[in-house]
Structure 1
Amino acid sequence: MNAASRTLLPKTALSVNLNKVALVRNTRHLGIPSVTRAATLCLQAGAHGITVHPRPDERHIRAHDVHDLAELLKAWPGREFNIEGNPFHNLMGFVRAVRPHQVTFVPDSEGQFTSDHGWSFPADADRLRSLVVEARALGARVSLFMDAEPEQMAGARAVGADRVELYTEPYAAAWHSAQRSAQLERFRAAAQAALDVGLGVNAGHDLNRENLTAFVRAVPGLSEVSIGHALIADALELGYGETVAAYQRCIDDAR
């Protein structure tokens, strides 16, 4: 097959997590930096979607941000709004109110510093099932935040999830170590297990410009990466537009 006839795999979508923009804004009472302005600039630069994680303590994203972003995304057909969080805290109220394109269920405690583990099956199955059904009935694609454990993927599918989001911090932490290849294989196997039972595959947590290309290249069927901390940190130096373009190049380089 020559280069002209080669068919590229579907491109992995980039969703920008804006939590850190809201965190900086909340240190003062001036309304800057603007979360909606950040979203607009990222969308203008080609980001496929916007992600927020409105925690109960509102330490970064606040309730009005969720509603403001939902309204903003109406003017961007084909772009997605992903709301993530614990469905047993405040998440479902937002899902019912704004009907996001995607909802990502994350098993955080209320005061947790950052997400650091996924759901476990069969332990979490019974309490998740009805909420997955409800979110899907509201028109949302449901993704479950999961550790890269192949044997867990069938359980995620059994409760009705559409996708899993693989928790990538272990991969990122191993990037500069001898464990990098082993971690990549672990995530490849988990993604393949998810695909084998009919799940889509997302990923996120500590992905950055250095480690993203290798991850996208190695992990099969990767529909979306959600990136916040590193992307917003890069944007402080490069600006939103150039930063989004840089992450898109990382994804393109993997193809």
Structure 2
Amino acid sequence: MKKNFTKNSIILLTIMLLSAAVSVNAQENKPETESKNLVKWNFAALALKNYSFQYERAIGKKISVAVGVRFAPKSGVPFPGQVEKLIDDEDTWNSIKDFKTGNTAITPEIRFYMGKGVFRGFYVAPFVRYSKYTAEVPYTFDVEVGGTTRTETMPLSGDVTALTGGLLFGAQWKLSKLVYLDWWILGPNYGTSSGNISGKKTLNSEEQQALRESLEDLSDLPLVKTKYEVDGEGAKVDFDGPWAGLRAGLSVGFRF
């Protein structure tokens, strides 16, 4: 997906959500006497080395709009043991185990509360998410020449962007006059992704062929499709195809 198409898509989808929210809000006649704003910190996201925050505003008796921002500094693969089992290929895992990634994401949504009023009780929330992941990996591969084998490393770096849409199911409780607890129970989302990583290094013919054979194993990675190019000056790996994710979390909020 082209970058300009991705940006235009997130803007269009956000406008559609906000337009729908304003349309519903126009039908609400009862005034809101309490403050209409919540700011929240998703402290559960720290388990994945993410910093996640959300702003929510009431626009009707049982309706609100929200926008979330998430970012993570570049770090190693979270839960490496589980990821290794998911890949289930020792050579592929050894090539990417030193992988480092960071990410940013923005997530607008509109919430429909099922209880007596906004900010409290069970809710459903359609949302869209634009994410960008930066990647850095010292990719290792084996070169066999004359019956001997040596290990070479190709430094690869780049980014992948994803645009997804989904539906979040959650519940929110009022703990005190100003403090709330928000549980994102489950938010499956699906969409598209694209991007690439590349690296520069002088390679002879044997090294080029060995790197091609090693990169072929990347086809085992879940959820993404890959294609690669290798020449005497380095390599480039393109990622393209579907992208799926799950939103979940536990946030503490302050009403103002």
* TM-score exceeds 0.5: no
TM-score between the two structures when normalised by the length of structure 2: 0.25
More helix by share: 1
Name whichever structure is richer in strand by fraction. 2
User: Which structure: larger Rg?
Assistant: 2
